[in-house]
Every structure is written in C-alpha cells, then in structure tokens.
Amino acid sequence: MPHLEDKIYLNALNIAFADNFLKLFSLLSSGQSLEEIWKTLYLPQRIDPLREWKQLKEEKIDFIQTIDKKFPPLLKEINYAPFGIYIKGDIPIQQPFIAIVGTRKVSPYGKLVTEKIVQELTKYNFVIVSGLANGVDTIAHKTALENKGKTIAILGSGIKNIFPLTNRKLAQEITKNGALISEYSLRAPALKQYFPWRNRIISGLCLATIVIEAPEKSGALITARFALEQNREIFATPGSIFNKNSSGTHNLIKQGAKLVSQIEDILEELKPIKLIKNS
C-alpha cells in the first residue's frame, strides 16, 4: 500500500514543479524519498503540503500513484508514466478504454462520424477517452453520455481549472458517469505546453486511438504518435480529399493506421479482447 505521506508530498511537488515536469521526473527518479526531496528544497516556505492535501479531500478529488491498485494498468506501461494522477469521478478499470481524438474545427461529416462510432462503441462497453477540447473531443464525450456510456476526459490543466470554459458543464456531467483525470495539480492553469504532454496519457490509457478528422499539424496526430510509441493500435477515418482536416488522417492511413468505415473494422483488430455487447 502506498504511504499517505508520499501522496501528500507528491501533490505538493506537483504544485511546486507545475512548469518543469522533466525536472520533477528527474528528482523522483533519484531514489530519495518524497519527503527528503521536499525538505532539501526551499519550497516548504511557500507551500503547505497538509493544507494542499486537505483541499483535495474537500473537493472529493482522489490522487493515486502508480503503486495504487486503482491506477490504470495500461498507463503504468508507458514511457514517462505519471507518478500520480488526480481523479474526479470513477475509473471503470474493468472495461476496455479507447481514445477518440480529432480537430477542434470539426465538419458536419466529422461530427456524424464521431457520433456513429462512439454510439456503437458504447454498445460494447468501451470507455470513451478524449481531451475535453472543442470539436471532436466534445462530441465524443457528449455522445458517450447520451448513450449511457462511460467517458473519461484527460485535462491539460488542473481539475479545478477546466478548459475550455464552455465545457465546464460537460465536465460536471462526465464526473457522474466517468471521470476527469489530470497529472497537473488542482488549480494548474491551461498552459499551451501542457496539452501535447497530456496526450501521452490519452493514448496510454487505451487499447487503441481513433483519429477523426485532423489536419497535417494537429494535437490529434501527436496523440497518434504517442500511441505508436506505446505499441497501441491506431485507427483513422477517411474523409474528402478536398478537406484539409482529412489530410492528417489520410497520411496516418498511408503510414499503416487501420482505416475505419464501420465498427467491425475496430472489433476485428481488437478481437483478442473479450467484448460483451449490451442488449
């Protein structure tokens, strides 16, 4: 069992090193205890670990380390796995997870494709994982909830600092039938550099990543690259050759991603996983 003191100090270190995660990884890999690391720094004068931990409990936000039984098993396997994650809601770790990502400027076609795929995936008890961004992410989360499925949003900010603001209500709904997850401390801002880094968690939680509409330079393609590095399946949906938002997905298909035109394309590739369809 992880020690409570370790969690308290890890939370405080996350606050202190919000803008320098690589340095934090280096410190945590040094072999020193978390309390020793904390006490060798000047930070205790600025941050009270016990007070910060109390705030987590007041907000009913769980904080788990990789050695916790509740920590998602697939996420432990990735390079630079987070030492701890903040959770608001429940993670159904007994169900298969699949990521749905894509452009923020989704077309009507992309919206229909996202809705169709998510609706069918929820029938097989897949947990829909995405990033709460506008566009494909939002549609994926909403469609999962509308079909009584579970969904998880991975944030590029702290759980008490939802971004974009327009998705605050959606975030609240997600906690009722899924979870919000972040490796960033409770009130961490939504900084630009956080979002590419959090994408490794989106793909790392999942058996596979499905990319729906993505231009050549897209955060969704960063997620796909992480999935490739993590040896996870990558799927992509085709689109119009005249739509710039399909250029990224078409390139993924050329590079070996599985083309998805129907749910069977996904199920066939993941057939070693025992899937039970809802009646």
Q: Is residue 168 part of a domain?
A: yes
- Which of 96, 104, 102 minimizes the C-alpha distance to 123? 96
Question: Are 62 and 166 in a shared domain?
Answer: no
Question: Are 73 and 185 in a shared domain?
Answer: no
Provide the 3-class DSSP secondary structure of residue 136: helix
Q: Is residue 123 part of a domain?
A: yes
Q: CB–CB of 219/192 below 8 Å?
A: no
Strands 151-154, 178-182: pairing kind: parallel
Q: Is residue 275 part of a domain?
A: no
What range defines the domain where residue 53 resides? Answer: 4-89
DSSP-derived secondary structure letter, 28: H
Question: Are 36 and 160 in a shared domain?
Answer: no
DSSP letters, 221-238, are HHHHHHHHHTT-EEEE--
Question: Are 116 and 20 in a shared domain?
Answer: no
Q: Is residue 279 part of a domain?
A: no
Give the model's pLDDT for residue 177: 95
Give the model's pLDDT for residue 26: 79
144: domain CATH number is 3.40.50.450
Question: Are 29 and 114 in a shared domain?
Answer: no
pLDDT in tens, 106-123: 999 999 999 999 999 999
Question: Are 166 and 246 in a shared domain?
Answer: yes
Q: Provide the strand spans (E) within 173-250.
A: 178-182, 208-212, 233-236
Low-confidence residues in the chain, pLDDT < 70: 1-2, 19-21, 42-45, 272-279
Write down which residue in 71, 89, 107 finishes a domain. Answer: 89
Give the model's pLDDT for residue 2: 56
The domain total for the chain is: 2
- Which of 168, 141, 163, 155 minimizes the C-alpha distance to 201? 155
Write down which residue in 59, 89, 119 finishes a domain. Answer: 89
Question: Are 122 and 75 in a shared domain?
Answer: no
Can you tell me the distance from the alpha carbon of 220 to that of 100, in angstroms, rounded to the nearest whole number?
A: 9
Question: Are 63 and 156 in a shared domain?
Answer: no
Write down which residue in 62, 89, 116 finishes a domain. Answer: 89
Q: Is residue 276 part of a domain?
A: no
pLDDT in tens, 65-87: 988 989 999 999 998 898 899 99
Question: Are 120 and 242 in a shared domain?
Answer: yes
Question: Are 79 and 121 in a shared domain?
Answer: no
Question: Are 121 and 198 in a shared domain?
Answer: yes
Give the model's pLDDT for residue 67: 86
Q: Is residue 277 part of a domain?
A: no
Give the model's pLDDT for residue 83: 86
Question: Are 16 and 68 in a shared domain?
Answer: yes
pLDDT in tens, 122-152: 999 999 999 999 999 999 999 999 999 999 9
